[in-house]
Amino acid sequence: MLMEWTDIHDNKVLKNNPLKITIHANQKEYCDIMTVVYRYDEEFSFYREVKFVFDDKTVFRGMVDKQTLTHKDGKIYLELHCRSLAGYLTDNEVQPQNVNNITDSVIYHSYMENFGLSVHRIANKPYNGIMNIGKNMSIYDLAEKYCQSVFHTAFRVNSDGTAFFDGNINDITYSFTDGLTDLSENIYSYSAICLEYDRKSVVSQVNVKSSLAENDYTLAVKNPYAQKQKISSVKYLDATPSGGKCIFDAEKLIQNSNQQAVMITVSCSCFVFNALHGKAVVHYQGETFANAEIVQVDYCFEKGKVNSILKISYKGV
C-alpha cells in the first residue's frame, strides 16, 4: 500500500499507516469519494492532492477537499476527505462562448490535461455545428454535452484519473459466486448477498401518440417482465414531431425501468479492482443472473483487511 500526498508547496509526502480508508463510486455521480483517517502525531500540513496505490494498481487519484483534526480520549485523529480528479472539472467553468465543430481533442488538451488527467482514447470527432457554451457551464458539463451529442454516451472520469469520452469505460466481466470452485481471474466469492426486487420502478406499458389526431395514444408498447410480474404502471409519450420524442423513447423508458427492477448487492472479503461499469454474472442458489452491470462500489481498507461491496443492476429481466 502506498499513500502519497502532495502538499500546497508541491512536496510529496508518504503516509502509509492510515487507520481506515473508504472509497465510494457510483455511476450517477461525477466524482468518486475517498476518506482517509490517521492517528495524528506530527506537525499539521495542508495537502491538496493524493494518490493511493494498492497491489501495484493506482486505485485513486484526487484532490483534497477537507481536512479535519479531532481530539478524543487523549488522542488526535486527522481525517481527509477527497474527490477524484473529476472534481477539478466540476469546480471550474468554461468561458462563455460559441465554438464551431469542437472535438474531444480540443476539450481534453484545452481544459483537462493541465489538471493531470489522462484520456483513454481521442477520436478527434467534431461536434456538428456551433456549440453554445453558456454562463456557469463547467468543464464537466461541456464534456458531457459533447459526449451525449457525438457518441450518445455519458462522460466519465475513473478513480485513477482516466477520462472516457466514447463510453468504452469497462469491458471486463466479473463473476460472483457463493462457492470457491473456481479461482480464475475476475471470479470472486462473496461473503454476503442481498437481492432486492423493486416493483415500483417498473413501467408496465407506454401508450404512444404517433399521429396528429388529438388524444390518439393508441400505440401501446408493453413490458413483458411487468406482465409476468402482474405490475401495472402506465405512462404516456408524445412521439409526434411537436412532442420531441420517438417510438424508441418508449422502449428506452421500459428498458431503464427494468434496470432498477432487480438490484443485487454482494460483499467480498477482497479487493475487486476497477469494478464500476463492469459487466457482472451472479450465481446464487443454483440461479444465474447474467446480463448485469456494476453500478456502485464501496471499498473499505482497515486493520489489514479489505472489503468490497458492489451494487449490481440485473438487466436480464
Structural contact between residues 270 and 310, judged by C-beta atoms closer than 8 angstroms = no
| Domain made up of 173-198+261-314: CATH architecture | Beta Barrel (2.40)
Instruction: Give the Cα separation of 300 and 20 in Å (integer).
Output: 7
Report residue 211 CA to chain centroid gap: 39
* Cell numbers describing residue 152: 450518445
38-77 per-position pLDDT tens digit: 998 777 899 999 999 999 999 999 999 999 999 999 899 9
Q: Which fold has domain 88-164?
A: Phage tail protein beta-alpha-beta fold (3.55.50)
The answer to whether residue 99 scores a pLDDT higher than 90 is yes
**Mean pLDDT value of segment 162-167:** 94
pLDDT band at 218 (very low <50, low <70, confident <90, very high): confident
SS3 content of the chain, % helix, strand, coil (to 5): 15, 45, 40
Q: Which fold has domain 2-84?
A: Phage tail proteins - horseshoe like beta roll fold (2.30.300)
Domain ranges of the chain: 2-84, 88-164, 173-198+261-314, 205-259
Instruction: Give the Cα separation of 145 and 127 in Å (integer).
Output: 10
Is residue 203 classed as helix, strand or coil in its secondary structure?
coil
Report residue 83 CA to chain centroid gap: 13
Structural contact between residues 303 and 17, judged by C-beta atoms closer than 8 angstroms = no
**Mean pLDDT value of segment 95-106:** 96
142-154 per-position pLDDT tens digit: 999 999 999 989 9
Is residue 86 classed as helix, strand or coil in its secondary structure?
helix
State if pTM tops 0.75.
Answer: yes
What pLDDT is stored for residue 31 in this prediction?
97
Instruction: Give the Cα separation of 270 and 301 in Å (integer).
Output: 10
Lookup result for grid cell 499513500 = 3
**Amino acid (1-letter code) at residue 154:** A
Is residue 262 classed as helix, strand or coil in its secondary structure?
strand
Is residue 64 classed as helix, strand or coil in its secondary structure?
strand
